[in-house]
Amino acid sequence: MDYICGQRIYLMKPNSTTTAPPLRFFLLFLRALVCYLGLVFIHEGLLREEYDSRAIEISRQAYIQARSGGEQAQARWSVEARNQLKDEIRRRGNPVTKAWAEQRNAAKYGDVLGPTYEALSVGMQKKGVVADSVAWEIIGGAGRTSREVSLAANNLLIYGTGLIIAYIIWLIILAVQTPPSQRGAVAVRELALVTIGNLIGMGLAYLVAAVYPF
């Protein structure tokens, strides 16, 4: 890029700005990967925030209803509602995250969604919780989520935001360096790159989730 008579012009120097095919392919792949991972990380972080807030709401609703009686029924409902919430959030997220969470819960609780009401009741009684308090403990527990997982998801949100910002900065630099007559074609190419990259990334995610033991 240079200026002549105050006008911006774009000069192509022989053998200096042409990118070798292997390097060009790698840079295209890298941009697609950055964009895909950024979107996935942000999505997973936001889903975890939604999960935490809705779990608290489940516990709150069960507690309000149980104050009028029927705390055991509300405790059972809170467990079932929490497990349904888990299933919904996982189905809306990345298949790799879903597979990891299911294998984690299966190893820890013997069920991909988590412990049942009966399993929680027996477990609390073994810990010495008096029978009259079991239902209330279960209701309270429905609103408590893993702090470690929530912290990891928050980090993903931060990392994903950083990746998307980096990608946007790269697009701005590309737009400045591209001649105006070619910017439309470059925009179409980048849109196609993002679309194809996300499709390939999602396909690989399903493959990893299916074959990789977490």
Retrieve residue 150's tokens.
Answer: 């929530």
Res 214: pLDDT: 61
Res 19: pLDDT: 56
Q: Could you read off the pLDDT of 153-202 as tens digits, one per residue?
A: 999 999 999 999 999 998 899 889 999 999 898 889 888 888 888 888 88
**Nearest of 21, 2, 23, 3 to residue 12 by alpha carbon:** 2
Which residues, other chains included, contact 212 with Cβ-Cβ below 8 Å and sequence gap of 6+? 99
DSSP 1: -
Res 16: pLDDT: 43
Res 74: pLDDT: 96
Average pLDDT over residues 97-113: 91
Are 117 and 75 a contacting pair, CB within 8 Å? yes
| pTM given for the model | 0.82
Amino acid identity for residue 28 in this structure: L
Q: How far apart are CA 19 and CA 208, in angstroms?
A: 32
Retrieve residue 189's tokens.
Answer: 């190419």
Query: Does position 3 have pLDDT exceeding 60, yes or no?
Result: no
Q: What angle do CA 170, 174, 176 make, to 5 degrees?
A: 120
- How large is the angle between the packed helices 147-177 and 183-211, nearest 10 degrees? 150
Q: Which pLDDT band, with edges at 50, 70 and 90, does 71 fall under? A: very high
Query: Does position 204 have pLDDT exceeding 50, yes or no?
Result: yes
Q: How far apart are CA 73 and CA 202, in angstroms?
A: 40
Domain boundaries of the chain, sorted by first residue: 16-211
Convert 26-38 into a string of H (helix), E (strand) and C (coil).
Answer: HHHHHHHHHHHHH
Query: Does position 68 have pLDDT exceeding 60, yes or no?
Result: yes
Which residues, other chains included, contact 201 with Cβ-Cβ below 8 Å and sequence gap of 6+? 32, 33, 36, 37, 40
Retrieve residue 111's tokens.
Answer: 């069920």
Q: Could you read off the pLDDT of 4-48 as tens digits, one per residue?
A: 444 454 444 444 445 567 787 787 788 888 999 999 999 999 999
Are 209 and 98 a contacting pair, CB within 8 Å? yes
Q: Could you read off the pLDDT of 112-160 as tens digits, one per residue?
A: 999 999 999 999 988 899 888 999 999 999 999 999 999 999 999 999 9
